[in-house]
Amino acid sequence: MDVVSDEGIPLWFLCLMDDSIAASESIPEESREGAARYFDSRGGREWDIQEWLFMFDPELRSWSWWDLVECKSQDVLLFFDSNGEVPVPCEELWWSIFSSGALAVSDPFLVSSDFWVERSSFWGY
């Protein structure tokens, strides 16, 4: 596997993935707790930063970003295009969502485009 540059990745995120990195900044508590929830929910092993970056390569993953919308007061819906692939292999996305501080993440589900259109995008679409 080629080495992918981790330039631009926040130091706290690198530290979350690798205990051997001496950090000058601390990992946000919600990220530390989110990572623990990831392991409780998904099981598995810790992510290697190179593996995670490689799996996020748009040319290699089976999904693409679509939108993020508010659903109710503290809930958001993340829309992505699975390119018709079911089940969607997106464990790297699960890790990202939990390590960003998510309290819970539901399994992906199909919705019509009307469902998306009826909601307000965080990006103003």
pLDDT string in tens for the chain (125-residue length): 588 888 998 888 888 887 777 664 678 889 889 989 999 998 877 888 888 888 888 888 888 878 888 777 678 888 888 877 777 778 888 888 898 888 888 887 777 778 878 877 876 65
Residue 30 three-state SS: helix
Looking at residue 123, what is its pLDDT?
A: 66
Alpha helices in 9-78 (DSSP H): 11-17, 29-42, 49-55
Contact 37, 103 (CB under 8 A): yes
Residue 123 forms part of a structural domain: no
Residue 72's H or E segment, with its range, is: strand 64-72
Question: What is the spatial distance between Cα 81 and Cα 106, in angstroms, rounded to a whole number?
Answer: 16
Please report the pLDDT score of residue 119 as a whole number: 79
Radius of gyration of the chain (CA): 16
Q: Are 52 and 17 in contact (CB under 8 A)?
A: yes
Is 35 domain-assigned? yes
Q: Is 47 part of a structural domain of the chain?
A: yes
Is the residue at 48 inside a domain?
A: yes
- Can the peptide bond before residue 87 be classed as cis, meaning omega within 30 degrees of 0? yes
Q: Is residue 124 part of a domain?
A: no
pTM: 0.78
- Residue 47 in contact with residue 9, Cβ under 8 Å? no
Residue 61 in any domain: the answer is yes
What was the pLDDT predicted at 23? 60
Residue 74 belongs to a domain: yes
- Position 43 in a domain: yes
Specify the number of domains making up the chain. 1
* Domain with 111 in it: 11-117
